[in-house]
Structure 1
Amino acid sequence: MEHQLYDFGMIGLGTMGRNFLLNVADDGFAALGTDINEASVKALNEEGEGMRVRGVHTQEEFVSLLSKPRKVMLLVPAGKIVDKVIEGLLPLLDEGDIIIDGGNSHYDDTNRRYEYLKEKNIRFLGTGVSGGAEGARRGPSIMPGGDRSAWNDVRAVLETVAAKVNGDPCVTYIGESSSGHYVKMVHNGIEYGLMQLIAEAYDLLKRVGGMDNDSMSALFDQWNKGRLNSYLIEISADILKQRDDLTDGHLIDAILDKAKQKGTGKWTSQTAMDLGVPVPTIDSAVTMRGISAFKQFRGEAAKVFPVLHTDEPRLSGTAFAEAVEEALYFSFIICYAQGMHLLAEASEELNYDLDLEGIARIWRGGCIIRAELLEKIRLAYRGDDQLRNMIMTEQFSTLLNDCRESVGSVIRLASERGIPTMCMSSAFQYFEAFRSARLPLNMVQGQRDYFGSHTYERVDREGIFHTEWGK
C-alpha cells in the first residue's frame, strides 16, 4: 500500500469530502485523502476498508502518493482557509498539477486564485458541487470551471462519480475562470427561491386550508408524482410526516421559525443587481430569511398589528389545494427563469460563454434543485444560443397563462388573511411587469430629470431631452 500511487486526492474529510472520495473509490479509481483532523482520517480508513481508498495525516505524504499530474480536490470551508491550504500545497506540487476547489467559494475569489495559480503553472478548477452529503456519496451534480486542460485530465473521474440521468452524467465543463462557482452560486440562489416558495405553499395550506401535517405530507407526495416532481417537494413531504422524538407531535411544529444562510443567495442577488438583471423571487427569499431572524421583534409586532380578517372561514377541499399547486408551479417556473436569465447575461458580461442547455441538463440529477421542470428548461435552450428569458418560449408561455388566474387568486386570499407570500407575490409581479407593454417608469424619468437634470427619451421622436420643469 505504501508504494501505490493514487489517482485522485481529497483535502478535507468532513462528511461531504469523505463521501465524495468513497464515491471515487466505488467507481474504480484509487482515492487518497487527508485532513488536519485525525478523527476524520480514521473515519475514512474505517469506512473505506476493503476499498481502494486511504487516509493519511500529512500533506507531504499525501502529495507523494498521488500519480502525476496530481489531481487534488479541496472540500474545505470557503474563504481564507482555501488560500491557506493552497499555499501549503504549492511547495509540494509540480508544474501542470491540478487543484480543484469544490467548496462554495465566491466567484471573485475564484478569479483571483485562477490567475494566481496560472502564473505558477498550476492548473485550477473552481468547481461547484451540489447534492449534499448523500449526493456526494451516490452521485452529485458537478460544475467545473477554469483550466480546460485540467478538465480534460479529471473528466473521467468526475463523469464517473456524478449523478446520471438517462445515462448522461450530471457534469460538464462550464467555462473559463470562475464560471463553475458562478453557476453554482446561481444554483443556490434558485434553491433559496424554491425553498421559500414551498414554505409559503405549506403556510397557505395550513392556515387557510386547515390541513394537518399528515394530510399535507400526502398532498406533497401526490404533487411529487406530477409536474412538481422535484427533490425539494419530495423531502418536504418527508419533513411534514416526521414525528418528534421529544414530544407527541410532529417535528415540523417544534422547529423554530428562524432560517440561517451561508451567503450564496445574497451573492446571487448582489451580482444580479450589478448586472442589472431582475431576480425578485430570489431577492425575496433572501429577505425572508433576514426577516425570520428578528423573531422577538416579529412577536412584538404581531401584538401591535393583528390580522384583520380573523373571522374568515377556512377554505378546504381539493379546489384550494389545486389553486395552491398551480400558484406554486407558476412560481417555480418564474424562479428558474430568473436564474437562467441571470446566467445568460453573466455569460456575456463576464465572458463565460455558458452553455445554458448543458447547465439545465446537469441540474436534472444529483443537485438540490433537480426537478422534472429542468428537462423542459433544457429543451427551451436547446439550439437557441440567443435565448435570454425562457418565459416567452413555447415550453412555458402556455403553462404560465394557464396558471395566472389561480396564482392571482391565491395571493389575494393570502393578503386578506394576513399571510406573507413575498416570494410567490414577487414571482407574479415579475411576470406582470414583463407582460406589460408600458410601465409607469416615465414618471420616474420625469422625476430624475426634474431634480437632477438626468434627461429622458420620448415615445414620439428620437433624441435625448431635458426640461426646465415648472418654468
Structure 2
Amino acid sequence: MEFGIVGLGRMGGNMARRLARKGAQIALYNRSFDVTQSLAEETGHLACDSLQALVDALATPRIVWLMLPAGDATEATLQALRPILAPGDLIVDGGNSFYKDVQRRTAWLAERQIEFSDAGVSGGVWGLENGYCLMFGASEAAAARLRPYMEKLAPASDRGWLHCGSVGSGHFVKMVHNGIEYGMMQSLAEGFALMKNKPGFELNLGEIAELWRHGSVVQSWLLDLSADFLAQDQTLENILPYVGDSGEGRWTALEAIEQGIPAPVMTLSLMMRFASQGKSDYANKMLAKMRQGFGGHEVKEG
C-alpha cells in the first residue's frame, strides 16, 4: 500500500471508512492507538502505533494524508514526518490550514524533495454516505497520483473533486467557500428570525422551510438541514445563542482587505459570530451608559 491517513477524527475516520467501502486498503495512525485499532478492525485497514510505523508500512513513493486541526497539530506532525520520509514522497494537508502556511511548508518540504499538496475537504458528517467535495492544489504529477483516491472519496469519480491549481490553491478556494458558507447561514438565520418574531400570523417555520426546499431560489443543503431540525423544534429554547468560528471566516475577511475587494456580507457574518460569543457585551454596556448620559434613558442592571 502507498497511502496512509494521519488523524482519525470525524472527518479523517469517515474518509478511511469511505475508502474501505471503495476497495482501498490503507494505513492508519491516530494519536490514540485505541481509535486506530478500532477503526482498523472495522475497515480492514492497517493500524499503526506511530508515525514511523505508518511510514515503514507504505511502499515508496508514499502518500501521507493529514486530517488534523490547522495550526500547531499540523505543524508538529510535519516536523515529525519531514526527517523520516524520502524524496518523492507526498504529504497532503487535508485540514483547514491557511493557504500562506501551505506555501511556506511547500518550500520547506521541497528542501528534502518531499512533495506537498493541500486539499480542502467539505462534506462534514455526511461525507461518508454522500462523498466529499475536494478542492486541492498540487503539481501535475502529484495530482495524477492523488486522482484515484479523489475519485473514491468524492460523490462520483467524475465530479465533486477538482485540481484547482498550484499548491496553496486548494486551501485558498476552501477558505473562500467557508466565507460564503458564513454568509448563507447568516441570511437564513436572519430570515427565519424575522418570521418567528412576527406577531399575528402564527407561522410554522418547519413547514416554510420544507416549502422552500422545492422549486425555490433559496433551496440548498443548509435549508435542508434547517428544515430537519425545525420540523422537530421551532423554539430552540434549549440552544445557547453561541456560534463558534474556526478561522476560515477570519482569513477570508483579511484576504478581502488585503486585495481591496469588498466582501461586506462575509465580513459582517463573521462579526455576528463574534457578537454571539459575548464579544459585543462591553460595547453594548457602553452604548447603554452613553444613551443614559445624553437622554436620561434607563439602564438595566443585572
TM-score by length of 2: 0.88
User: In 2, distance between residues paired with 1:12 and 1:211?
Assistant: 50
Cα deviation for residue 296 of structure 1 reads: 5.3
CA distances 1:411-457 after superposition (whole Å, capped 9, x unpaired): xxxxxxxxxxxxxxxxxxxxxxxxxxxxxxxxxxxxxxxxxxxxxxx
CA distances 1:330-349 after superposition (whole Å, capped 9, x unpaired): xxxxxxxxxxxxxxxxxxxx
Distance 1:280 1:296, change over 3 A: closer
What CA RMSD, in Å, does the superposition of the two structures yield over aligned residues? 2.3
Cα deviation for residue 266 of structure 1 reads: 1.1
Task: Indicate yes or no: 2:168 matched with 1:178.
Answer: yes
Give the aligned partner of residue 250 of structure 2: 266
Structure number with greater Rg is: 1
Give the aligned partner of residue 112 of structure 1: 104
**Do the aligned residues in 1 keep the contact of 2:2 with 2:61 (CA within 8 Å)?**
no
Q: SS of the residue aligned with 1:252?
A: coil
Give the aligned partner of residue 210 of structure 2: 221
User: In 2, distance between residues paired with 1:64 and 1:252?
Assistant: 50
Task: Indicate yes or no: 2:272 matched with 1:282.
Answer: no
User: In 1, distance between residues paired with 2:113 and 2:171?
Assistant: 21
Q: SS of the residue aligned with 1:24?
A: helix
Cα deviation for residue 136 of structure 1 reads: 4.5
Give the aligned partner of residue 257 of structure 1: 241
1:197 corresponds, among 176, 180, 187, to: 187
Give the aligned partner of residue 64 of structure 1: 56
User: In 2, distance between residues paired with 1:303 and 1:237?
Assistant: 37
Cα deviation for residue 169 of structure 1 reads: 1.9
Give the aligned partner of residue 158 of structure 2: 168
**Do the aligned residues in 2 keep the contact of 1:19 with 1:137 (CA within 8 Å)?**
no
Task: Indicate yes or no: 2:104 matched with 1:102.
Answer: no
Give the aligned partner of residue 87 of structure 1: 79
CA distances 1:198-238 after superposition (whole Å, capped 9, x unpaired): 0001111111266668x211111111112322110000111
Task: Indicate yes or no: 2:7 matched with 1:15.
Answer: no
CA distances 1:168-212 after superposition (whole Å, capped 9, x unpaired): 321010111211100000000000000000000111111126666
**Structure 1 unaligned residues grouped into runs of 5+:** 1-5, 244-249, 306-471
**Do the aligned residues in 2 keep the contact of 1:34 with 1:59 (CA within 8 Å)?**
yes
Give the aligned partner of residue 197 of structure 2: 207
Supply the AA of the counterpart residue of 1:288. Answer: M
User: In 2, distance between residues paired with 1:46 and 1:191?
Assistant: 36
**Do the aligned residues in 2 keep the contact of 1:100 with 1:124 (CA within 8 Å)?**
yes
Distance 1:57 1:201, change over 3 A: same
Distance 1:60 1:81, change over 3 A: same
Distance 1:25 1:199, change over 3 A: same
CA distances 1:50-103 after superposition (whole Å, capped 9, x unpaired): x4x222211122111112221110011101221211121122211111100000
Q: SS of the residue aligned with 1:142?
A: strand
Supply the AA of the counterpart residue of 1:270. Answer: L
Cα deviation for residue 45 of structure 1 reads: 2.3
Equivalent pairs counted in the alignment come to 288
Distance 1:200 1:209, change over 3 A: farther
Cα deviation for residue 241 of structure 1 reads: 2.2
Cα deviation for residue 7 of structure 1 reads: 3.8
Q: Percent identity?
A: 34
**Do the aligned residues in 2 keep the contact of 1:220 with 1:236 (CA within 8 Å)?**
yes
Distance 1:253 1:97, change over 3 A: same
Supply the AA of the counterpart residue of 1:222. Answer: L
Supply the AA of the counterpart residue of 2:209. Answer: F
Q: SS of the residue aligned with 1:173?
A: strand
Give the aligned partner of residue 233 of structure 1: 223
User: In 1, distance between residues paired with 2:239 and 2:201?
Assistant: 18
